[in-house]
């Protein structure tokens, strides 16, 4: 059976029209993607180990001393051999990218026994180091990075031991209206004993506000972090710029003599395109990055 020329032309025209409509709809869908949907970044998701770089005091950047940072069973862990004995070589593991304004959340648990001769204060002690200096600027013998430590403590079983505390290696902060210069201050969180999984969060808004959050409640907050105060050793003078504002930096976790597991570490970047006409506009951004805008 033959097909008429007019029928063939109609079919072709119908196909072209439908294709244009589909392309336009696709473009509309992309342009009007939900601006309220939060796009969390998996800093650690059980697989992306290559995104992290270790640095141990006394060892070059990139050397995982005695394989203490372990990637197994979809966990990011710190482990010590039974024969290990502490000799001052604290370690830190740095994420590849720095951030300024963000929400951070992690799921962690303390396990096992502390390394032999580890300092008493380091029992069930770790930290999420925020606004870290560039790991490339850390001194060979440096014990801790210039940073703001969201300190993680596990309960001892006999007394209260708050977590989500603040320690300030190489930094000072303002709490209330006063400059805070001591090294550590406790939050008002609950105590979390045993080997249970614990969820911790932080809200970081450059140098204007940092909040530590447990179970949806702010347990500690501060602002205006700057370099200073000491409490670190082995740093390079070029990196220790007294009084410099800390409004961005890298994120790291510690190897501080007690085994720990991280099941997940996630970040919601609050810096991005704030132009509502862009395809990647998000309503929750608080700091504009016009260079990041995408238009169609």
pLDDT at 48: 82
* pLDDT at 93 exceeding the cut of 60: yes
Mean pLDDT of 194-206: 96
pLDDT at 33: 76
Cβ pair 180, 172 in contact under 8 A: yes
pLDDT at 121 over 50: yes
Does 7 score more than 50 pLDDT?
Answer: no
| Residue 163 CA, distance from chain mean position | 17
1 or 33: which leads in pLDDT? 33
- Which whole number is the average pLDDT over 226-249? 96
């Amino acid at each position: 059976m033959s097909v008429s020329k007019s029928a063939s032309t109609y079919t072709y025209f119908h196909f072209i029209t439908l294709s244009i409509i589909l392309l336009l709809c696709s473009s509309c869908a992309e342009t009007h993607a939900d601006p309220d949907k939060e796009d969390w970044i998996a800093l650690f998701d059980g697989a992306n180990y290559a995104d992290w770089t270790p640095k141990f005091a006394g060892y070059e950047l990139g050397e995982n001393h005695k394989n203490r940072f372990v990637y197994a069973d979809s966990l990011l862990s710190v482990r010590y051999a039974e024969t290990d004995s502490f000799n001052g070589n604290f370690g830190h593991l740095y994420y590849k990218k720095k951030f300024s304004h963000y929400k951070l959340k992690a799921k962690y648990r303390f396990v096992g026994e502390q390394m032999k001769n580890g300092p008493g204060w380091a029992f069930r002690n770790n930290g999420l180091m925020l606004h870290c200096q560039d790991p490339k600027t850390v001194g060979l013998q440096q014990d801790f990075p210039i940073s703001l430590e969201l300190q993680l403590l596990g309960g001892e079983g006999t007394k209260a031991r708050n977590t989500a505390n603040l320690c300030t290696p190489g930094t000072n902060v303002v709490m209330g209206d006063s400059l805070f210069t001591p090294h550590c201050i406790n939050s008002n969180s609950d105590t979390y004993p045993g080997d249970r999984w614990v969820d911790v969060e932080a809200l970081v808004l450059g140098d204007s506000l940092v909040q530590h959050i447990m179970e949806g409640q702010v347990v500690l907050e501060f602002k205006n972090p700057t370099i200073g105060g000491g409490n670190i050793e082995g740093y390079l003078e070029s990196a220790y710029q007294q009084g410099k504002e800390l409004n961005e930096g890298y994120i790291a976790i510690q190897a501080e003599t007690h085994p720990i597991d991280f099941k997940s570490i996630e970040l919601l970047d609050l810096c991005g395109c704030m132009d509502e006409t862009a395809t990647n506009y998000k309503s929750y951004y608080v700091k504009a990055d016009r260079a990041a805008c995408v238009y169609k």
